[in-house]
Chains A and B, each alone.
Chain A
Amino acid sequence: MYKGLAIVFGFLFIGEGISELLHLPIPGNVIGMILLTLALISKLIDISDVEREAEFFIKNMSVMFIPPGVGVITYWGLIKAQLVPIFVALVVSFALTLVLTANFVEMLSGGEK
């Protein structure tokens, strides 16, 4: 168990270190994810060493969104004033992205046949 946790936190630490030292606008955890993927592909790390621990984090990710989400109460005034741009943009962008991306990819697939 501790081997897997050490790998996950190790890559998080390396990712954060790279993000901060190089002043990158990319979150350190994303850099850690990319590096861990590369380490798995290059067989530097064996999947069985980290699989169980990683799947535990992923399975329980939902509950972790709640505390940052609750933070919206501190912006309640802003959200009330911006209700229209926020929700119209959300719905329009959702529908547009879904329909156009699906059609675009279907066109790519069709071209192959």
Chain B
Amino acid sequence: MNSLGIFITIGTFYLFSKIYEKRKAFYLNPVLLSIITIALFLHITEIKYETYMESAQILSFLLGPAVVSLAIPLYKQREIIKAYSKQIFFGIIFGGVLAILSAFYVAKILGGTPEVLLSIAPKSITTAIAIGVSEKIGGIPALTAVLVILTGILGNAVGIEILNISKVKDKVARGLAMGVTSHGLGTARIILDDELSGAVSGLAMALNGIFTSLILPYLIKFLK
């Protein structure tokens, strides 16, 4: 029974990926649907999370090399960083800090507990990095993972529409804001809108992941 976890994870993800291939609707996000389905399955069958993780943890372990691998797209896009260095540099600092502070303080005002505040603070960076950051600052990595995915789905679903309503036309600005706010899932949507916006969004995602993981542990000490 040891392989139960890895089997249901890969099997469920395969099924939902097939559905998503046929109908690319944001609410059919295969990762979120897999998480919900497996969580329900474990709940109904009363199988412990620890039992599930015995073999499923192989997959989450691979997030380590996956994050290191993000160096490759970062390196390949270095020409874009040079071309728009000013917008990227200040935009990441502005958006990265704003994403943290706005999530932290809105949750705090509404009565969020300390562990919830720490779990929601890294919600705008790519899931792989957010999980590690959440763990380091004392949040709940599992909650962070789900919140990050939901933030990505929001960007994927209504990000373009919000940018249109706010009348921002500059392609670099649109891409950067999307990448900083909604990481990979936002990038996947805006790349269909415009190639330059998509490239900048992917870069902003990677750079904000680095930026947030560098500053958040120190920023959190002031917020507490």
Residues of A within 8 A of B (CB): 5, 8-9, 11-12, 15-16, 25-30, 32-34, 36-37, 40-41, 47, 50-51, 53-55, 57-58, 60-75, 78-79, 82, 84-86, 88-106, 108-110, 112
Residues of B within 8 A of A99 (CB): 162-163, 166, 168, 177
Q: A29-B64, A57-B65 are known contacts. Are A64 and B91 too (CB-CB below 8 A)?
A: no
Residue on B nearest A107 in the bound complex, by CB: B173
B67 adjacent to A29 (CB under 8 Å): yes
Residues of A within 8 A of B60 (CB): 64, 67-68
B169 adjacent to A94 (CB under 8 Å): no
B181 adjacent to A106 (CB under 8 Å): no
Q: A64-B66, A90-B151, A93-B106 are known contacts. Are A101 and B180 too (CB-CB below 8 A)?
A: yes
Residues of B within 8 A of A108 (CB): 86-87, 90-91, 173
Q: Nearest 4 pairs between A and B by C-beta?
A: A71-B142, A27-B132, A25-B217, A54-B69
Residues of B within 8 A of A (CB): 5, 9-10, 12-13, 30-32, 34-35, 38-39, 42-43, 49, 52-53, 56-57, 59-60, 62-76, 78, 86-87, 90-91, 94-95, 98-99, 102-104, 106-108, 110-113, 115-116, 120, 123-124, 127-129, 131-133, 135-137, 140-143, 145-147, 149-151, 154-155, 159, 162-163, 166, 168-170, 172-174, 176-178, 180-182, 209-210, 213-214, 217-218
* A103-B87 Cα distance, complex, nearest whole Å: 11
